[in-house]
Structures are given as C-alpha cells and as structure tokens.
Chain A
Amino acid sequence: MIVPYTHVMLLGGVLFLLGMICTLTRRNLIMIILGLEIMLNAAAITFVGAGLHLQQIEGQAIALFILAVAAAEVSVGLALVVCIYRQTGTVDPQCIEGNKCQLKPDQTG
C-alpha cells in the first residue's frame, strides 16, 4: 500500500506551480525553458501516479512520450536561444525586440 492518489496529484500540482512561477517571473530565456521542463516533469509524475491508481499501463506510456517531446522541445528551444544570443548578445526577452534594453530607472531593481 502506497499513499493515496490525491497526494501524488498534490505533488504534481505543486511542481507545476513551481515551474509556472519560474516561467512567468524570470527574465532569462534559458530559465524560461527550464520552467517548461519542470512543468512537463510534473505532468509525467501525475500520469505515472494515475496509471498506478487505475491499474493501467497507459500512464507510463504517456510519461515516455512526454519524455521524448521534452527532449525534442528543449533541443530546438536551446538552439533558438543560441541563435538569439548570437544576433543580439542577450537572452533577456525584453531586450530582443530591438529596443536595446534601455530601461527606465523605475523598471530596474
């Protein structure tokens, strides 16, 4: 006997929340992709837990597909980040759109 399914769901939910916070509040393209990875990982945990809860092997198969999609997504995403860094010299999303990161004093800090 392991824990109830609700606890696995809560763990997945908290992990997804952490990934969401990372994606929404960091100003760094690499950290944004890292947050996406955390969210995909949380989804995989929930799928494996649901597979055990329903006694189906399907959840593990979906977790494997999530793994493959995450690998493809992160490779293309990081290649884009490297491209952007070569062209603009920054990975800050606000500085990419040609305004050269001229922030007003009240926007910094």
Chain B
Amino acid sequence: MTIYAVFFYIIAALIIAATGLAITRKHMVHAVLCLVVSFFGTALLFYLLGAPLPAIFQVIIYAGAIMVLFLFIVMMIRIDPEKTHRFPLGHYLAAGGICGAYFVAAVLLTLLSGPRARQPMPAATASPFDFGYYLFDRHWLSIEMISLLLLVALIGTLHLGLGRVGRKQKKGGGQ
C-alpha cells in the first residue's frame, strides 16, 4: 500500500462522511457547508488521480460559485426546519427499494469487472498544457456548445428573475 493509496482512502472517507452529513441535516445552511467540504475533498481526489486542472476548476466553480449561489438562495428563502413535513412511510419504502436495487446492481457490476480493473492503477498526470491543447484540438465544438448553454442559462435566469417585475412596470407604464 503506497502513500497514494493511503491518501485516497483518507480522502474517500472524508468525502463520504461529509456528503452523508450534508444529506441528513435539517438546516439547509449546515447541509451546504458540509457539501463544500465534500467538494474540496473531491478536488483533492482529482489532483490525486492526475487531473490538476479539473481539481482547480472544482474548487473555483463547485466549491466557490455553485455553493455560494446555494447559500444566497438559502438566505433568501425563509423556511422553518421544524415545520417541514415528511413523506408517508410508503414513499420511503419505494425510495429504499429503488436505492437498494441501484446499489445491488452497482456492487454486482463492480465485482464482475475484469482482472485488469483490480490491478492498482499507475500514477499519471495530465499537465494543464496538454489538457488544454487536447480540449481545444478535439472538443472545440463542445466548448462552443457549452458557452452557448451557459448564455442560454443566463438569459433564462434573467427572464425568470425579472419576469414579473418587468410585466408590472409595463402595466404601470400603460396606465
């Protein structure tokens, strides 16, 4: 067991513990903060698996931007966590059935994987230069589509956020 493997198991335990805490918290602020820890752990894992550039993006975009967006929304919306209802028991049984079926399938597929998947993986690192060159060499169309998708998301968010205000102003101007 090399030092890399020790790091991997520590980081994996950290990620699973933080995510498990996040999905069981009653207060959404606690859940979001636990998930930030989980995403930092994921960034460390990406670095360990030889992907430094996705690791940096994980910290900047996931832990930095998306989670801060969640925090803002949680602060905007006022919910009493003591007053929230729970599903009836039958819904929990159905959800448990779906999750159990998925987990059994996942473990079976992992156990049935070939002998090559059981060998320890050799360590390798893709430098940011190689990664960026590959990305813009092979996937330039996907990059453009992603930028278009982000633009559409921006316009849609603006429309949803400003829709009622804009209509009210228009009505007020007409009168």
Contact = CB atoms under 8 A, between A and B. Distances in A.
A72 B124 contact: no
B49 A48 contact: yes
B73 A30 contact: yes
Interface string A65-99: 10111111111101111110110000110100000
Nearest to B45: A45
15 contacts: A1-B2, A4-B121, A9-B110, A9-B113, A11-B15, A13-B103, A15-B19, A19-B23, A22-B23, A38-B19, A48-B54, A60-B54, A72-B150, A92-B85, A108-B86
A44 B39 CA distance: 11
A25 B28 CA distance: 15
Interface in B96-131: 98-99, 102-103, 106-107, 110, 113, 117-124, 126, 130-131
Contact of A17 (B106, B150, B160): B106
B16 A11 contact: yes
Nearest to B139: A61
Contacts of B95: 21, 24-25
Contacts of B57: 64, 67
The interface centre, meaning the residue of B5, B9, B54, B107 with most chain A CB atoms within 10 A of its CB, is B54
Interface string B18-48: 0110110000100110010011001001101
Interface residues of B, number: 84
Contacts of B19: 15, 18-19, 38
Nearest to B103: A17
B54 A4 contact: no
B120 A63 contact: no
Contacts of B69: 74-75, 78
Given A22-B23, A81-B77, A31 B31 contact: yes
A107 B88 contact: yes
Given A20-B102, A83-B160, A71 B65 contact: yes
Contact of A6 (B91, B113, B146): B113
B84 interface: yes
Given A3-B120, A41-B62, A52-B50, 12 more contacts: A2-B122, A3-B4, A13-B103, A13-B110, A18-B23, A21-B95, A28-B84, A37-B35, A63-B46, A71-B61, A101-B85, A109-B86
A107 B139 contact: no
Contact of B120 (A4, A14, A60, A75): A4
Q: Which 4 A-B pairs have the closest CB atoms?
A: A72-B153, A22-B23, A24-B95, A13-B106
